[in-house]
């Protein structure tokens, strides 16, 4: 009998006990859970539910495939239904995880040989952290677009020279302005594989910029959050 069953809670393999909520900014937090009981490819997402609540939402896995804990990174959406509830979770609360889902990301062979530019807005950085933690030899540049430098989630984990912070509302980034401005000003080698993740307006604008720079559509991989 599992410890949860001893507490009279009917659960299956998909339930995880929250270890902690790590508040990174006023709105954004990561949820730390026990080690994943499924295998996933970094870049994939999972569905997160709360025990007793019928709804769920999708979140990219934030942790690496071999990490001791399963993590997701969540931004609380103003007037959103689910994210305020996730933010209020406490250690020991139960969440239900389904998945993994999706094809975003790359396998180990491609990771070893490719040259990558990761383009993320806000919490769209999550799948890239998973890829970077899973494949230590990855040749990447991570371009992260946020409003303020305080949203550079876990920046200390990325070596200098690999991470470019674009801030649109303060002067504390590596680039002052939207990440699309940085993309326009940048030169990338012809064999780059681009991975884009975040809100749809950033992704649509970035697609146009990369097309104008002459990159083929099959060099560009997208994960749209909303």
Ligand X SMILES: Cc1cc2nc3c(=O)[nH]c(=O)nc-3n(C[C@H](O)[C@H](O)[C@H](O)COP(=O)(O)OP(=O)(O)OC[C@H]3O[C@@H](n4cnc5c(N)ncnc54)[C@H](O)[C@@H]3O)c2cc1C
Q: Which of residues 151 and 223 has its CB atom nearest to ligand X in the complex?
A: 223
Of 145, 140, 223, nearest to 184 by C-alpha is: 145
Q: Which of residues 43 and 173 has its CB atom nearest to ligand X in the complex?
A: 43
- Spell out the SS3 assignment of 24-43: CCCCEEEEEEECCCCCCCCC
Please report how close the Cβ of residue 177 comes to ligand X at its closest, in angstroms. 20
Q: Which of residues 171 and 226 has its CB atom nearest to ligand X in the complex?
A: 226
Alpha helices in 108-176 (DSSP H): 108-113, 126-134
Q: Give the DSSP H or E segment for 181.
A: helix 179-185
Of 155, 149, 203, 197, nearest to 180 by C-alpha is: 203
Please report how close the Cβ of residue 144 comes to ligand X at its closest, in angstroms. 14
Is 27 an interacting residue with respect to ligand X (CB under 6 A)? no
**DSSP β-ladder status, 28-34 and 69-75:** antiparallel
Please report how close the Cβ of residue 133 comes to ligand X at its closest, in angstroms. 15
Which single residue brings its beta carbon nearest to ligand X? Answer: 80
| Bridge partners (DSSP) listed for residue 221 | 195
Is 133 an interacting residue with respect to ligand X (CB under 6 A)? no
CA dist list (Å): 195 to 71, 148, 219: 21, 22, 8
Tokens of 140: 């990447």
Q: Which of residues 23 and 211 has its CB atom nearest to ligand X in the complex?
A: 23
User: Among residues 7, 34, 35, 77, which is the contact residue for ligand X, using CB under 6 A?
Assistant: 77
Please report how close the Cβ of residue 135 comes to ligand X at its closest, in angstroms. 19
Q: Which residues in 47-76 contact ligand X (CB under 6 A)? A: 57-60, 72-75
User: Among residues 30, 63, 123, 134, which is the contact residue for ligand X, using CB under 6 A?
Assistant: 123
Enumerate binding residues for ligand X (CB under 6 A): 45, 57-60, 72-75, 77, 80-83, 122-123, 126, 223, 225-226
């Amino acid at each position: 009998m599992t410890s949860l069953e001893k507490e009279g809670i009917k659960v299956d393999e998909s339930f995880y006990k929250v270890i902690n909520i790590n508040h990174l900014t006023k709105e954004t937090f990561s949820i730390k859970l026990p080690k994943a009981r499924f295998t996933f490819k970094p870049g994939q997402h999972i569905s997160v539910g709360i025990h007793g609540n019928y709804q769920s939402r999708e979140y990219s896995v934030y942790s690496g495939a071999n990490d001791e804990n399963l993590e997701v990174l969540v931004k609380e959406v103003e007037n959103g239904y689910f994210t305020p509830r996730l933010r209020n979770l406490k250690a020991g609360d139960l969440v239900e995880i389904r998945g993994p889902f999706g094809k975003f990301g790359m396998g180990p062979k491609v990771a070893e040989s490719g040259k990558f530019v990761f383009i993320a807005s806000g919490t769209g950085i999550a799948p890239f952290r998973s890829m970077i933690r899973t494949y230590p030899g990855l040749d990447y540049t991570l371009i992260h677009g946020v409003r303020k430098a305080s949203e550079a989630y876990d920046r200390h984990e990325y070596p200098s020279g690999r991470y470019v912070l674009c801030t649109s509302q303060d002067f504390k980034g590596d680039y002052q302005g939207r990440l699309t401005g940085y993309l326009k000003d940048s030169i990338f080698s012809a064999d780059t594989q681009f991975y884009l993740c975040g809100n749809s307006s950033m992704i649509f604008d970035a697609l146009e910029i990369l097309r104008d720079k002459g990159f083929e559509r099959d060099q560009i991989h997208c994960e749209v959050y909303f």
